[in-house]
Amino acid sequence: MKAAVYQGSQQLIVEDIPIPEPGPGEILVKVTYSAICGTDVHAFLYDIAPPGAVMGHEFSGSVVATGSAVDRWKIGDRVVGGGGKPPPGMEAPLRRQDQYNYRLEGFADDRKRGYAEYTLLTEWAPTAIPENVTDLQASLVEPCAVVVRAVRLSQMKLGDTVAVLGAGPIGLLCMQAAQAAGARKVIVSEPSEARRNVALSLGADAVVDPTNEDPVEAIISLTDGSGPHVVYECAAAKPTLQTAFDVVRKQGNVMLVALAWEEVPLLPVDWAGKEVIFNTTFGSEAYDWTIAMNLISQGKVNVDPLILDADIIDIEDIQQAFEALCQPSTQVQMVVKL
């Protein structure tokens, strides 16, 4: 099978490797689509992924073989590569460890995952795809689950005003999840005109171009001078965490969704007097996937505008795609078709 194997030093090579055989409690999935996640791009950019790794965790496909002890799945079932509830002791390290550093510990996994034609999953791991959700749409369930968790942990309330900083895939999904949760007004700050237009098409109440106006002044003015109740930091750019603290209203909530992999400047004296609540979120759990799949199935989260035909690539083009995504980009989401 074809697989994009990380070689180290920002090099992905498409190799022909053996199709794995499922063990007794495993299923073999023929991958249909695998969305490129910003986490994988960071692993590539900062050379964190171990040589030999096959990355990719936002994927959909169909079951083509089952292990002898598998009774939950049958050949032909359509699934996404996560969302199952792990048995006790099988939780992800960040859920079971008292201390966890993703930058240092997050890429020890040597599984062959979504940037390959086939991948193995344990029986409990996948989630079924409803009939009215396509494989392409389902490839974005994982990032949708991430923002579902962010919105739930942010304690956003019905009728709150919300700002989303960044309109990449996570920001565009986050604004829709906030709307589904009852936000009264959602403002999106994004330097890319193309991404701002997608945000407006998806129902953003207002957009701000931080390259042409002060985003703090603009967002505060759009919230009657008070600032938003909740700010979702979905950009991980150098200034955006400080922007989030500057713009949030008194005793409001800043939720860190996107992760900067370099030091970012903060000046706490500017905003500490507002007694801001600061939360972080990381990944998702089984119930977040359930909600995400339901939101997409019910049309409350629309992933179609995030995926343009030009951004669906063949696996042979994955090196060029990763190189492009390491630079400032106007693209919304890139997906590998397998």
Question: What is the residue extent of each domain of the chain?
Answer: 2-140+307-337, 144-280
Confidence of residue 134 (pLDDT cuts 50, 70, 90): very high
**Percent of the chain scoring above 90 in pLDDT:** 86
**How far from 75 is each of 30, 66, 115, 237, 277, CA to CA, in Å?**
10, 7, 21, 44, 48
- What average pLDDT does range 297-308 have in this prediction? 94
Confidence of residue 158 (pLDDT cuts 50, 70, 90): very high
- What average pLDDT does range 285-293 have in this prediction? 96
**Percent of the chain scoring above 70 in pLDDT:** 99
pLDDT tens for 21-47 read 999 999 999 999 999 998 899 999 999
- What average pLDDT does range 324-331 have in this prediction? 83
In the predicted structure, residue 105 carries a pLDDT above the cut 90: no
What CATH superfamily is the domain 144-280? NAD(P)-binding Rossmann-like Domain (3.40.50.720)
Give the pLDDT confidence score for residue 108 in this predicted structure.
66
In the predicted structure, residue 91 carries a pLDDT above the cut 90: no
Identify the burial level of 20 via C-beta atoms within 10 angstroms of its C-beta, where 0-12 means exposed, 13-18 middle and 19 or more buried.
Answer: middle
Confidence of residue 110 (pLDDT cuts 50, 70, 90): low
Give the pLDDT confidence score for residue 102 in this predicted structure.
79
Mean of the per-residue pLDDT values for the chain? 94
Give the pLDDT confidence score for residue 98 in this predicted structure.
83
* DSSP E strand boundaries for 193-287: 206-208, 230-233, 253-256, 277-280
- What average pLDDT does range 217-223 have in this prediction? 98
Q: What is the pTM of this model?
A: 0.94
- What average pLDDT does range 312-331 have in this prediction? 91
Give the pLDDT confidence score for residue 308 in this predicted structure.
79
- What average pLDDT does range 239-259 have in this prediction? 97
- What average pLDDT does range 7-19 have in this prediction? 96
User: What b/e readout covers 276-314, taking b as 16+ CB neighbours within 10 angstroms?
Assistant: beeeebbbbbeebbbbbbebbbeeebbbeebbeeeeeee
- Per the listing, tokens 């029986």 go with 123
In the predicted structure, residue 152 carries a pLDDT above the cut 80: yes
In the predicted structure, residue 271 carries a pLDDT above the cut 70: yes
- What average pLDDT does range 170-195 have in this prediction? 97
Pairwise CA distance, residues 282 & 24, whole Å: 31
Identify the burial level of 132 via C-beta atoms within 10 angstroms of its C-beta, where 0-12 means exposed, 13-18 middle and 19 or more buried.
Answer: exposed
Residues 6+ away with beta carbon under 8 Å from 328: none
Q: Thinking of the domain 2-140+307-337, which architecture would CATH place it in?
A: Alpha-Beta Complex (3.90)
Q: Nearest 5°: CA angle at 174, between 232 and 251?
A: 30
In the predicted structure, residue 109 carries a pLDDT above the cut 90: no
